[in-house]
Structure 1
Amino acid sequence: MNLSDKKATLNIDGKAPIELPVYTGSIGPEVLDIRKLYGQSDMFTFDPGFMSTAACESAITYIDGDKGELLYRGYPIEQLAVNCDYLEVCYLLLNGELPNAQQKAEFEYSINHHNLVHEQMHFFLRGFRRDAHPMAILTGLVGAMSAFYHDSTDISNPHHREISAIRLIAKMPTLVAMAYKYSCGEPYVYPRNGLSYSGNFLRQMFATPCEDYQVNEVVERAFDRILTLHADHEQNASTSTVRLCGSSGTNPFAAIAAGVACLWGPAHGGANEACLNMLENIQANGGIAKVGEFMEKVKDKNSGVRLMGFGHRVYKNYDPRAKLMQETCKEVLTALGLENDPLFKLAMELERIALEDQYFVDRKLYPNVDFYSGIVQRAIGIPTQLFTAIFALARTVGWIAQWNEMLSDANYKIGRPRQLYVGSARRDVPSLDKR
């Protein structure tokens, strides 16, 4: 960041004016530096949800919510999703530049030769109930990796951080597939190095000892796009959790496990699962003929009916990922002979009303990426309960890139938010007979 010629002056009754430095980034809003505010004024700032607070400087991802713009290392997401595969995007997020042919081949080799997990992880997995939620299993498995791969947990060593990044990106598909196979009582399928990252995961999900899985190129490309669109998203709740957890100096596996746990929430990674459940509920209660009635209930604040998959905490315009996901949805349904899928038609009708009805237009409730990604995953055969685990699989590279960037920052400190205390200010503890 660069120091601006501007200065902000804070005047507090009875105290000398305080000058706050102003910094500028390469793009985006300017920021006030309040690091010395408490020392100079004996006051904190109050910002629930951190809506107006920049907790770090980052060169990885940029979002302009008003324009509906998402950049990875300066590249528009629309271009990356069309022109690059997921592992190229991983390399970009980790290293700052897209790989050349040799770099891509070396990176793919590293990933493919770290995708196995220790055999004892299988025994660890058996400790879970068969009906455990996949995110509960994934949180445990990722955290447990620190016990199996403790040879790469010295966070002060750049090589350790690099090999941990490779291991997490490579092994996360295997862990997610293992969680799925365990839940349905099928044997685990080992990865096959001759396949792509996405193709390998699909085979691990759906192959059995009785019948191998032939990867459909359209489905493979669609799944790869899902991963790319979810790879990173600036300082969201789970990324901030990884940074905060990692700021204590904990090992990378523990930090990423914390991100997985945070992502589990329905307001974050669970949104696509909630969206598909909404569509299925509408379908079960009258289908497309009842969409108009459903949307009227959404407008009634007293109805308790929520519209999932529309609007976004950051985007105040169309989510740039949603358009790509809609196109992918059409491609997958056509390739699988599901053009007349009732949920997709229902989703299109919901979108049409939301884009035309003034109530939704005024509130800028445009479809987000979750609106169509659930339909795509459902068509592929991925069970609804696994959607958030797929999100975690995609986001792992973003978490690792952000964690590594934080550790490389000379200004990094352990996170320690402050509070506005509103509790009791008692000073004397009453004796026992007076309580």
Structure 2
Amino acid sequence: MVNAQTGLEGPRDDLTVIDNRTGKTYIVPIKDNTVAAIDFKKIKAPSKPGERKENETERGLRVADKGFLNTAVITSEITYIDGDNGVLRYRGYPIEELALHSNFLEVAYLLIYGSLPSRPNFKVFQREVMTHSIVHVDAEGLFKSFRYDAHPMAILSSAFSALGSFYEEANPSLRGQNLFTKSDPASLANMDKQIYRIIGKATTFAAMAYRVRQGRPFVTPPTGLSYTASFLYQMDHLGQEDYVPSPTLAKALDILFILHADHELNASSTTVLQTGSSLVDPYSCMAAGIASLYGPLHGGANEAVIRMLISIGHPENVPAFLESVKKRERVLSGFGHRVYKTSDPRSFIIRKIADEVFKETGEDELLKTAMVLHDLAMKDEYFTSRKLAPNVDFWSGLIYRAMGFPMDFFPVLFVVPRVVGWLAHWRQMMLQPGGVKIWRPRQVYVGETKRDYVPMEQRVDVETEEAKTRPFAVPHLGQSKRTMLAKFKGKSRL
């Protein structure tokens, strides 16, 4: 085949698109196995007779991709995932090697700065992160203002949002919108300081949210302990002399943090970048990421596994449960993944961690049920043909439960390490060539075309059986009901 661009034999790096509406031919370049969506906007056609103006046909094609199933929104050097072959690499390093040989703060350095640290650089990074784990005393008042039964994720998102108000030098709205995008030494140093603060305070805030629930006073971060050991100390220390958390649990948590540090552009990372594209301060970006991760389809997956296992009960109930899953009467949590189509590489690492933790804590009563579920599902053609293998959430929930964490704290244990991935992506976007452009997705409008306004006196209810087209009245009881029945000046007559 002759390449029309060069006149030489060989394939071309482009697409030839023929628009059958107009007969025109368009050449769409391919770079890194990617086509630019904006190139399709060049493909225009006149509107058909009677066609909705809202289709904007004459303005060029739009690319529809509900849920970002196959849309790349940024160029990145951070994390690579091969879902078909179960591969996960941070900056080129296989996750298996990092989990075996590195600690969490080393991996954090790698994700943020692009390489594994030398000993001198790691000492600086570790010292700064641990030094910045102390929080302002005013932050304690914020935590104490929450109800004792407030969800820790609600507390955490509020805390990070509030944290931005403590540091004027970190706010582009106050210091100029190019505060973090200049790439000069002063800007980079300012950016690093916020990174130290966020990573350092992530464990402190998480521990404070935990202790609010326990009705316990807050603990000042200790010195001389690792990142995860310090975290456990802040959660559990009750004044005991020479208190040192279990090294086994601290090590297990460290590896779990490595596995959860980043996972490319998942929902929360994308939320952080979407928010960051407006050039807001990094603390607001973290709060947005936490809000996204809070959802049960993201950060609550391992909690769903535990609830599923509790609902199954004893191991002998597993076969009946799997049959109900096949009939789509029940949901199988902890199996399969949006990205991984074979197996989640993190699940093999975490399975080994589970063994070490259970030796220390004793076997969780749900472990036997989980093992039977695992073994039967892996032998069942229904699940294997659909590539439903255990993912990281299947085992992490069991480990967190065995370590004594309440289920609603599981997402917090996801947030603490994931702030590193969020920061890595945020920093990369701030420093990208050409600067930051605010993210503004398109939509496909399928609503009403232009309508004439109708005064209220002339309007009639639209006849429809769809409940979503009208507001629901909320039942009022107690004082609210009595107030509605009372007469007073200014009461609405509607």
TM-score normalized with structure 1 length? 0.94
247, 250, 254: which is aligned to 2:284?
A: 254
1:217 Cα deviation (Å)? 1.5
Where does residue 404 of structure 1 map in the other structure? Answer: 427
1:127 paired with 2:145, answer yes
1:19 paired with 2:27, answer yes
1:359 and 1:213, CA in 2 relative to 1: closer, same or farther beyond 3 A?
farther
1:104 Cα deviation (Å)? 1.3
1:292 paired with 2:319, answer yes
Where does residue 84 of structure 2 map in the other structure? Answer: 66
Where does residue 320 of structure 1 map in the other structure? Answer: 345
1:136 Cα deviation (Å)? 0.3
Where does residue 116 of structure 1 map in the other structure? Answer: 134
Check conservation: 1:206, 1:213, Cα contact below 8 A: no
1:413 Cα deviation (Å)? 1.3
1:149 Cα deviation (Å)? 2.0
Check conservation: 1:20, 1:34, Cα contact below 8 A: no
1:421 paired with 2:452, answer no
1:114 Cα deviation (Å)? 0.5
* Number of residue pairs matched by the alignment: 420
1:180-195 alignment, distance < 5 Å: 180-195=210-225
SS in 1 for 2:24: coil
1:432 Cα deviation (Å)? 5.3
Check conservation: 2:364, 2:402, Cα contact below 8 A: no
1:8-57 C-alpha deviation (Å, 9 max, x unpaired) = 12222216322221111xxxxx1111223325531210100111110111
1:330-345 alignment, distance < 5 Å: 330-336=355-361, 338=362, 340-345=363-368
| Paired amino acid for 1:48 | K
Where does residue 6 of structure 1 map in the other structure? Answer: 13
1:214 Cα deviation (Å)? 2.5
SS in 1 for 2:377: helix
Where does residue 235 of structure 2 map in the other structure? Answer: 205
Q: Distance in 2 between matches of 1:211 and 1:426?
A: 74
Runs of 4+ in structure 1 displaced over 3 angstroms? 210-213, 430-434
Check conservation: 2:84, 2:340, Cα contact below 8 A: yes
Check conservation: 1:310, 1:366, Cα contact below 8 A: yes
1:356 paired with 2:379, answer yes
1:335 and 1:433, CA in 2 relative to 1: closer, same or farther beyond 3 A?
closer
219, 223, 227: which is aligned to 2:257?
A: 227
Q: Distance in 1 between matches of 2:28 and 2:428?
A: 26
| Paired amino acid for 1:202 | L
1:419 and 1:260, CA in 2 relative to 1: closer, same or farther beyond 3 A?
same
1:306 paired with 2:356, answer no
1:381 paired with 2:408, answer no
1:433 and 1:205, CA in 2 relative to 1: closer, same or farther beyond 3 A?
closer
Q: Which of these two proteins has the greater Rg computed from alpha carbons?
A: 2
Q: Which moved more, 1:171-180 or 1:341-350?
A: 341-350
1:216 Cα deviation (Å)? 1.5
1:69 Cα deviation (Å)? 0.4
1:378 Cα deviation (Å)? 1.3
138, 150, 155: which is aligned to 1:137?
A: 155
Q: Distance in 1 between matches of 2:324 and 2:455?
A: 56
1:209 Cα deviation (Å)? 2.5
| Paired amino acid for 2:441 | P
CA RMSD for the aligned pairs?
A: 1.5
1:37 paired with 2:40, answer yes
| Paired amino acid for 2:406 | P
Check conservation: 1:85, 1:225, Cα contact below 8 A: yes
Gaps of 5+ in 2: 1-10, 45-59, 172-178, 182-186, 460-494
Check conservation: 1:155, 1:251, Cα contact below 8 A: no
Q: Which moved more, 1:210-219 or 1:75-84?
A: 210-219
Gaps of 5+ in 1: 25-29
SS in 2 for 1:49: coil
| Paired amino acid for 1:187 | P
1:367-378 alignment, distance < 5 Å: 367-378=390-401
Q: Distance in 1 between matches of 2:433 and 2:275?
A: 18
Q: Distance in 2 between matches of 1:294 and 1:212?
A: 48
Question: Percent identical across equivalent pairs?
Answer: 41
